[in-house]
Amino acid sequence: MSFKTIIGHEQEKSYFKKVIRENNLSHALLLEGPSGIGKKLMAFTIAKALFCDHHTGEACDTCRNCIKMNHGNHPDYSVIEADGNQIKNAQIEAFQEFVNVKPYDAEYKVVVIDDAEKMNLSSQNRILKTLEEPAEDVVIIMVSDQPDRLLPTVLSRAQQIKMNGLSDDAIISYLKSHYSVETSEAEMIAKLASGSIGRSILYLESEIFEVIRKEVKELLIAIDLKDQSKLLELNSFFIKEKENIHEIIEYMILWYRDLLLYKKSKLKQLLIHGHELDFIKKLARNLSIKQLISNIESLELTKKKLDQHGNYDLTIDTMLVKLLEA
């Protein structure tokens, strides 16, 4: 693994290559951006390039430092992860002891703090000291998808690097070159993954996506037929899949968008589910363009309410009532 094998994030990669080559890397970094877009991998790759014996700004993958990083046993690299829901004071203490000892093999010590927002208040206050007086040979890389939960004093002492999700096209081309997957399937997965290569791989490699796909289709049929008893049955699906509700709603939106596109254009090639044209025709029959737009709006609103931690059962019930009214 080196910068050239990371997908996307071109600007960040060339920036880090340059500052590492020129010996100008900041001693405290905060990589921020949505989950699953490769922030932790970027942190690892920065450390590896920094440790590499050849000092070119890119890891060579063959020197002893690179090999130790690849084997996950480099003595100068440490990752702190939440213990339960929090990164506790004791973990920061251990980290401070780790950086107090000179590096063994490399010229630096690198500590990655994953989900840095999970540092509790006393951990954040404790780490401030290290951030305020950074040692010459220490680099701290905090990684977070919720940087607003960090103290302003912590934020102000780190160089913040905002990383964005990947484009649908980048994800599609990655999936197609690494998996035997149809274009339509890759497109669907890219849309659902919203910029996260990690999530797109999860969909391909786990059964979650298959389950969601099947159940959402049944849900759409039940809504179309206004089949109350079936909907009641599907209630358990929403309870069971609470963790994946974001994807379920996104996937429902994809279907309604397809129906809308079909209504407006009748062009099969525009549809993500173009291979299921009969199903689309059947569902589109009973819904007007206005109703479809209203359904998509209801789903978007549901997503927003869930993001704001609204009552889960109530939000889902309201969504189903709205969809049934259409």
**Which residues make up the interface to Zn ion (CB under 5 A)?**
52, 60, 63, 66
Nearer to Zn ion, 3 or 251 (CB): 3
Q: Give me the numbers of helices (H) and strands (E) for the chain, helices first please.
A: 15, 5
Nearer to Zn ion, 53 or 145 (CB): 53
**Of 153, 167, 162, 322, the residue nearest 249 (C-alpha):** 322
Q: How far is the CB of 138 from Zn ion (least distance, A)?
A: 20
Q: Judge contact between 272 and 213, C-beta under 8 A.
A: no
Nearer to Zn ion, 16 or 174 (CB): 16
Nearer to Zn ion, 1 or 128 (CB): 1
Nearer to Zn ion, 50 or 66 (CB): 66
Q: How far is the CB of 103 from Zn ion (least distance, A)?
A: 15
**Of 288, 291, 213, the residue nearest 254 (C-alpha):** 213
CB atoms < 10 A from the CB of 75, how many?
A: 13
Tell me if residue 111 falls in helix, strand or coil: strand
Q: How far is the CB of 54 from Zn ion (least distance, A)?
A: 5
Q: How far is the CB of 135 from Zn ion (least distance, A)?
A: 23
Q: How far is the CB of 62 from Zn ion (least distance, A)?
A: 6
Distance CA 176, CA 167 (A): 14
Q: How far is the CB of 206 from Zn ion (least distance, A)?
A: 34
Task: Please state, in angstroms and as integers, the Cα–Cα distance from residue 283 to each residue in 8, 218, 221, following that order.
Answer: 38, 12, 8
Nearer to Zn ion, 60 or 301 (CB): 60
Nearer to Zn ion, 54 or 275 (CB): 54
Q: How far is the CB of 47 from Zn ion (least distance, A)?
A: 12
CB atoms < 10 A from the CB of 270, how many?
A: 13
Q: Exposed (0-12), middle (13-18) or buried (19+): which is 196, by Cβ within 10 Å?
A: buried
Distance CA 277, CA 268 (A): 7
**Matching residue, tokens 């107090």:** 100
